[in-house]
Chain A
Amino acid sequence: MTSTHTNSHTEAAKMEQVITEFFYKSLLIILESRSSYVSSRNYSGEQIVSSPSSSSSSSSSVRPRDKWFNLALRECPSALENLDLCPQSNFEPVVVDVILEQKPLDWGPASFSPTSDIVRNLSSKNKNSYFWNSDQDESGSEMKCEKIIERWFVHHESRKGRDFNSGNRRSSCNNLSALYKKLILMLRSLYVTVRLLPAYNIFRDLNSSGLIRSFKLVPRVSSFVEPLTRKEEVDMQRFWFTPVDTSCGRLCLSVLYYSSISDMSSESSTPMSPQFIPDYVGSPLADPLRRFPSLPVSHGSPSSLPFSRRHSWSYDHYKASPPLVSFSPSPTHSESNALVSNPSSRGLPPMSLPPHPPEAPLAHKRDTNFDEQNLPPSPPLKITRAGTSRTDNIRVPAETDATIEKIFSFGKEDCWKYSGVKAFSNSSPRISCSRSSSRSLQDDFDYSEFPCPFDVEDGEMMDPGSRPESYVRRGNPSDPNEAGLFMNRKSPDAAVGALVRMLEKAPPLRQNVSLNFSEASRPEILSNSVPKQSQISEAVTVEHAAAPNIASFRLVASKTTTDALEELRGYKVMKNLLLSEGGKAYTSSNVASAAEHSSTSKGT
């Protein structure tokens, strides 16, 4: 009796040990085929020699635990070795979730070496509950996306009322050997099955390719898991392994899996996919007032002047801006494309434009500048630079000559624009810039109709030397009415106000040129108020102040006649634009009042 009791205890202990080892082996098979860097797949070592004579030598290379169920696997994950799978009378179920984890965007190379740590949830009432996770997951990948693509269930269903002690020793022994054989068969089929499921392809690619992937497989072992959603259960397929009867119940093994993983990986990557940021800080969408018009492609330098001017400060502002910012699908993108796509525009300075010396032979560098200076491939880069604040716009004139030369070093036909601008004052480019920055999208995007107060007709531009005179003639001080008419026809007051502000704050481009003009005119400008009538009158005053300096300007202008012609053409475009817009807004009564005002001031 005592021996029987002892034998039954021995048999029970053996049974428990077999069941425990089955749990361990099944988990090992699952984890080694789902956990990166831990796999018998990487094993290229010796194989077991089949001949029985060498079985002893072969068995010596096999670890004791490998012999269980005659299945020697390469390496046991260290985490699994620490697993507390003590034989228990009640074997709690073990659930293995294979999670497809999408890594965050800021995931760096350091996170490619997953380290697996088991975190035991000692607070849980089930001391076997543990969590297989990687350090990187714990380090705050709040943006990671996880998807359970497989769920394995390993559990022992206890059969109540079954007396293990029943039956003789021989039958128990037979039962144990039969059980062991069946468990071997079950584990063989498990080993094959884990390699046929879709998740294995992901595991294989992660291990073998060596490429950096945006996702990884993370197996998670626990005793208690949240049930899957109804949708997940419907979408997933289940495969049951035929349960194996034990003396006190039966061992069950099953898996829920997605038949197609590609959909899952694409879904999991959705939150992490790169997205265009349309409303980044400084984008035209963020501030409509900063939008830039689509400049006409047929006009070269003058139409590009605003952009050029704008880019002078925006270049510095966005020097370190990330490329992502540039790909803004803003409405101005297409409009600026129209400008950029035309090589004749050449108005937009490339991002990487190096500084040029003032006396550089710009006249012969038009084409080479673009070739050498690595024009940005995408127009949005230019839009980005253009979409800066007005503060930057005003800051432009404070840049050094080298910076300005960066902007205007387009070549022959542009250099006149540069020098002409400088010669005239610091006003014209600033005027255009500020005007376009302050105007609305609708107003600013048609530079062909944007008259410039300094612009002249084509016929008058034939003699660049007479340009200032023609301008003077245009805005003839002797005919203040006409000048006032001209000014009245230009763009709305906001543009004028912006012009004035620019003039106030803009330092001269060149001391020798601007000194006589801008400094003389600046006090008048600063002292003037904003109201439109006074603005117009002050603009006229600026003209008068500029008159004494025309002679000095002539000296400069005569140097590059061709450039002057080009600049005058540009001014013509701006003038037309101003005229077209101003003519609609102002009536003859406004003109008459302006004329009366000017005559009154003359009389005094």
Chain B
Amino acid sequence: MNCEVCQLKELEVEHFEIREVLRCILHTIVFHRALGLVRPKDVDLELFEITYVQCGDVELEKKIDEKIDHFISWVEKHPNKKSQICLSFYEVKSKQPSWFTNKTERLYWEQWYINLNVTQHPKHHSSKSHHTKLVVDPGESATEERSSRRAMVEASLREVLFQIIKFVNEKKDHVPPISEGVIYFPYEITIPSSSDSAFGMDMIKRMLHSGHPTMLS
């Protein structure tokens, strides 16, 4: 089974927009892969005029929020850097244990790469006090610029969501069959580590687990 990879369009977001944007994208993808019995939950974004859908699982929501917190911490330590979050779906296969591999292996059948470019406003700093100063920044031009920028981010986010929908519609054959009682497929969210080398080690680990090289498009 091939591992289908989807590279989502890069989004240029500000620090305070990261949480909402990531929640929206991650939950939308997971909802498409939660093929068990769900009662969907509509969530309105506060920063944008977009409503996304959660599958309604509390545990899933917690895990996603935790990962987002880790990512935000990483962004604060590595400002003005392009980053990538990988959401992978896999199957667990039992395997003959050996020296280098575990008893079970993960067969990744789908990977989503969320590309973010976290920018910071020239007057914008990570601390709250400076953020407050930005809020009271006077001038109509600043307000207009902010609103136009917000509209651009919203349009880009909408594009990304439609990109997810199109990908889900176009590629269906690689999705494994639905297991009884399982709400959503096993997944894994990978965020950049403190160093790039560590991030590369994560990729190697994945390769060892999956047993086949990760296809990067």
Write the residues of chain A forming the contact surface with B, with a CB cutoff of 8 angstroms: 40-41, 43, 47-48, 50, 52, 55, 58-59, 62, 67, 70-74, 177, 181-182, 184-186, 188-189, 191-193, 195-196, 200-201, 204, 241-242, 244
- Name the contact of B51 in the complex, choosing from A185, A204, A244 (C-beta under 8 A): A204
- Name the contact of A62 in the complex, choosing from B37, B169, B172, B178 (C-beta under 8 A): B37
7 A–B contacts from the bound complex (CB under 8 Å): A50-B60, A62-B37, A185-B168, A185-B169, A189-B169, A193-B165, A204-B44
**Distance between B185 CB and nearest chain A CB, rounded to angstroms:** 12
Check if B121 is an interface residue, CB within 8 A of chain A: no
| B37, B162, B172 — most chain A CB neighbours (10 Å) | B37
Q: Are A201 and B52 in contact (CB under 8 A)?
A: no
Smallest Cβ-Cβ distance to B167: which chain A residue? A189
Check if B186 is an interface residue, CB within 8 A of chain A: no
Chain B residues with Cβ below 8 Å from A48 are 37-39, 56-57, 183
Chain A residues with Cβ below 8 Å from B39 are 40, 43, 47-48, 62, 72-74
Q: How far is the CA of A181 from the CA of B172 in the complex (A)?
A: 9
| A41, A43, A47, A55 — most chain B CB neighbours (10 Å) | A47
Q: Are B183 and A185 in contact (CB under 8 A)?
A: no
Chain B residues with Cβ below 8 Å from A196 are 50-51, 158, 161-162, 165
Q: Are B35 and A181 in contact (CB under 8 A)?
A: yes
Chain A residues with Cβ below 8 Å from B168 are 185, 188-189
Q: Are B165 and A185 in contact (CB under 8 A)?
A: no
Instruction: Provide the B162-195 mask, 1 if CB < 8 A to any CB of A, else 0.
Output: 1011001110100101100111100000000000
Given contacts A48-B38, A52-B181, A191-B40, 4 further A-B contacts (CB under 8 A): A62-B39, A182-B172, A192-B52, A241-B169
Q: Are A185 and B181 in contact (CB under 8 A)?
A: no
Chain A residues with Cβ below 8 Å from B158 are 196
Q: Are A70 and B181 in contact (CB under 8 A)?
A: no
**Distance between B39 CB and nearest chain A CB, rounded to angstroms:** 4
Chain A residues with Cβ below 8 Å from B175 are 181, 185
**Distance between B187 CB and nearest chain A CB, rounded to angstroms:** 13
Check if B53 is an interface residue, CB within 8 A of chain A: yes
Q: Are A52 and B42 in contact (CB under 8 A)?
A: no
- Name the contact of B32 in the complex, choosing from A181, A182, A185, A201 (C-beta under 8 A): A185
Q: Are B37 and A72 in contact (CB under 8 A)?
A: yes
Q: A interface, by DSSP: helix, strand, loop or mixed?
A: helix
Instruction: Provide the B112-129 mask, 1 if CB < 8 A to any CB of A, else 0.
Output: 000000000000000000
Chain A residues with Cβ below 8 Å from B196 are none
Q: Are A47 and B32 in contact (CB under 8 A)?
A: no
**Distance between B171 CB and nearest chain A CB, rounded to angstroms:** 9
Write the residues of chain B forming the contact surface with A, with a CB cutoff of 8 angstroms: 28, 31-32, 35-42, 44, 49-53, 56-60, 158, 161-162, 164-165, 168-170, 172, 175, 177-178, 181-184
**Distance between B21 CB and nearest chain A CB, rounded to angstroms:** 15
- Name the contact of B57 in the complex, choosing from A47, A59, A72, A184 (C-beta under 8 A): A47
Query: Are A70 and B41 also in contact (CB < 8 A) when A47-B57, A196-B162, A201-B49 are?
Result: no
Query: Are A195 and B51 also in contact (CB < 8 A) when A58-B37, A181-B178, A185-B168 are?
Result: yes
Smallest Cβ-Cβ distance to A46: which chain B residue? B39
Chain B residues with Cβ below 8 Å from A242 are 169-170, 172
Smallest Cβ-Cβ distance to B42: which chain A residue? A41
Smallest Cβ-Cβ distance to A44: which chain B residue? B41
Q: How far is the CA of A52 from the CA of B42 in the complex (A)?
A: 23
Chain B residues with Cβ below 8 Å from A50 are 57-60, 183-184
**Distance between B59 CB and nearest chain A CB, rounded to angstroms:** 6
| A62, A185, A201 — most chain B CB neighbours (10 Å) | A185
Chain A residues with Cβ below 8 Å from B165 are 189, 192-193, 196
- Name the contact of B52 in the complex, choosing from A47, A52, A67, A195 (C-beta under 8 A): A195
Chain A residues with Cβ below 8 Å from B178 are 70, 181, 184
Q: How far is the CA of A200 from the CA of B53 in the complex (A)?
A: 13
**Distance between B70 CB and nearest chain A CB, rounded to angstroms:** 22
Q: How far is the CA of A242 from the CA of B169 in the complex (A)?
A: 5
**Distance between A562 CB and nearest chain B CB, rounded to angstroms:** 57
4 A-B pairs with the lowest CB-CB distances in the bound complex, closest first: A52-B181, A242-B169, A47-B56, A50-B57
Chain B residues with Cβ below 8 Å from A201 are 49
Q: How far is the CA of A204 from the CA of B178 in the complex (A)?
A: 33
Query: Are A191 and B53 also in contact (CB < 8 A) when A50-B60, A52-B182, A185-B175 are?
Result: yes
Chain A residues with Cβ below 8 Å from B49 are 201
Q: Are B42 and A72 in contact (CB under 8 A)?
A: no
Q: How far is the CA of A191 from the CA of B52 in the complex (A)?
A: 10
**Distance between A66 CB and nearest chain B CB, rounded to angstroms:** 8
- Name the contact of A184 in the complex, choosing from B35, B41, B51 (C-beta under 8 A): B35
